Amino acid sequence: MLSPDNTVIGFIGTGVMGKSMAANLLSAGYELAVYSRTKEKARELLDKGAYWADSPKAVAEKADVIITIVGYPADVEEVYLGQDGIIENAKKGAFLLDMTTSTPTLAEKIFEEAAKKGIHALDAPVSGGDIGAREAKLAIMAGGDPEAFEKVVPILKVLGTNIVYQGKAGAGQHTKMCNQIAIASNMIGVCEAVVYAEKAGLDPENVLKSITTGAAGSWSLSNLAPRIINGDFKPGFYIKHFIKDMGIALEEAGKMGMEAPGLSLSRSMYERLAEAGEENSGTQALYKYWSKQQ
C-alpha cells in the first residue's frame, strides 16, 4: 500500500494549483521531493518540510510516486520523455501521475514508454481551480491501467473528492476536454450575465442570490462571478492555459469530425484578451472582453 510510512512522492510543478496540492500531501504525512524551474516558487513547500530536487531526473531517482502538473504538452513531453526525464530515470514499479491538462495522444505515448520499463503511468488531469486544490476538493479524471489506478487512489484522495477512473490511457485527458468544453461556453454566459445586470442597473451581488441556486447555477457562476464583481481577476486558472486547453479540444474534435461552435467562439474571445495583455489573468477576466469592445 502506498502509505505515508513507505512512500516518497516526487512533485514537479508548483504553480497556482500544484503548490496547494503538494502542501496537502505534506500535511497528510508523505515525504515529498519537489522540483520546479524556479526554486523560489517551491520555497513555501521547502519551509514546510519538502526537500528540493534539482531536476526531474533527481525526482525520479528518489520517488516511488511522481506527480506532475506543468504548463503545456511540450513541458510534459520534456519532463517525461527527455534523456534526463522521468521515464529514463524512474524506479521499476514506480507510479507516474500526470495531472497536467495535456493531449490524449501524449498520454498514450507516455503510458507505452513507461510500460516498457515496468513503470505504471496514468493521465489524471484535474478540475476545480485554485479553490479545489487548496481545499483538496479537486475532481480527478484518470486514464491508464485500472490496477495501477486502484493502488494510487489513497494518494488521490488527499487531493480530491471526486475521483473517477475513465478508461485506458488517454481517457483522463479526453474527459478533461469534455470539462473544458463545458466551461468554455459557460464562462461566456457567466460574464455576459454580470455585464447585463450592471447595464440594467441591478445590484449584481443581489442578482447572484437569485440565479446561483436555480437552473443557471454552475461552479463558475458561484465561484468566479463574485470575483468579477469584486474586480478580482487574479488567476485560479490562467487564460493562457485555458487557450491551450481549448486548442487541444478543438484539435481532438476535428479528428472526430465534430463541430464545436461554442468552444470556437470562446477561444476567439480569450485570444483577443490575451492579445490585449490578459494572458496571465484568471479565466473570469473574460468579463473584460466587453470593455475591450467599447
**What CATH number has the domain bearing residue 258?**
1.10.1040.10
Arithmetic mean of pLDDT over the chain: 96
Q: Specify if 3 maps to a domain.
A: no
Give the chain's domain count: 2
Q: How confident is the model at residue 40 (pLDDT cuts 50, 70, 90)?
A: confident
Between residues 292 and 160, which one has the greater pLDDT? 160
Exposed / middle / buried, residue 116 (Cβ in 10 Å: 0-12, 13-18, 19+): exposed
* Residue 188 pLDDT grade (very low, low, confident, very high; cuts 50, 70, 90): very high
Check whether 195 has a pLDDT greater than 80.
Answer: yes
Q: Are residues 259 and 287 in the same domain?
A: yes
**What is the rounded distance in angstroms from the CA atom of residue 16 to the CA atom of residue 241?**
12
When pLDDT is averaged across residues 261-286 and rounded to a whole number, the result is 97
Question: Reduced to 3 states, what is the DSSP secondary structure of residue 91?
Answer: coil
**Is residue 290 pLDDT above 80, yes or no?**
yes
| pLDDT attached to residue 216 | 96
User: Do residue 89 and residue 162 come from a single domain?
Assistant: yes
Among 168, 188, 206, identify where a domain stops.
Answer: 168
- Residue 258 within any structural domain of the chain: yes
* Domain boundary pick from 136, 168, 200: 168
Q: Is residue 187 part of a domain?
A: yes
Is residue 146's pLDDT more than 90? yes
Residue 121 has a pLDDT of: 98
- Is the separation of the CB atoms in 248 and 73 below 8 Å? yes
- Whether pTM > 0.85 for this model: the answer is yes
Q: Are residues 16 and 126 in the same domain?
A: yes
- Among 11-15, 19-23, 36-40, 202-206, name the one with the lowest average pLDDT: 36-40
Q: Are 59 and 31 in contact (CB under 8 A)?
A: no
pLDDT at 192 over 80: yes
Residue in the structure block whose three cell numbers are 524551474: 37
Q: Are residues 142 and 93 in the same domain?
A: yes
Tell me, yes or no, whether 85 and 63 share the same domain. Answer: yes
Answer yes or no: do 130 and 34 share one domain.
yes
**What is the predicted pLDDT for the residue at 293?**
65
Distance in angstroms between the alpha carbons of the first and the last residue of the chain: 59
Same domain? For 159 and 180 the reply is no
Helices 239-255/171-199 angle, 10° precision: 120
Query: How confident is the model over 88-94, as a mean pLDDT?
Result: 96
228 and 83 share a domain?
no
Cell of 77: 513531453
Query: Which pLDDT tens digit goes with each residue over 225-245?
Result: 999 999 999 999 999 999 999
Query: Is 81 a domain residue?
Result: yes
Residue 262 has pLDDT above 90, yes or no: yes
User: Does some domain include residue 105?
Assistant: yes
Alpha carbons within 13 A on the beta-carbon side of 124? 30
57 tagged catalytic: no
At residue 69 the predicted structure's pLDDT band, cuts being 50, 70 and 90, is very high
Q: What is the mean pLDDT of residues 203-208?
A: 98
- Tell me the pLDDT band of 277, cut-offs 50, 70 and 90: very high
The residue from 134, 168, 202 where one domain ends is 168
Asked whether residue 282 is domain-assigned, the answer is: yes
Residue 159 lies in a domain: yes
Mean pLDDT of 202-209: 98
Instruction: Indicate the length of the chain as a whole number.
Output: 294
Same domain (yes/no): 239, 102: no
Confidence of residue 9 (pLDDT cuts 50, 70, 90): very high
* Given the residues 19, 62, 176, 244, the one annotated as active site: 176
pLDDT at 221: 97
Give the closest residue to 222 by CA, choosing from 252, 254, 190, 270: 190
Same domain, 149 and 186: no
Query: Measuring CA to CA, how many Å separate 65 from each of 9, 114, 121, 267, 273?
Result: 5, 13, 10, 35, 38
43/153 same-domain check: yes
Query: Domain range for residue 110?
Result: 8-168
150 with 233, same domain? no
In a domain, 129, yes or no: yes
* Whether pLDDT at 1 is above 80: no
Closest among 109, 103, 137, 105 to 21, alpha carbons compared: 137
- CATH number for the domain spanning 134: value is 3.40.50.720
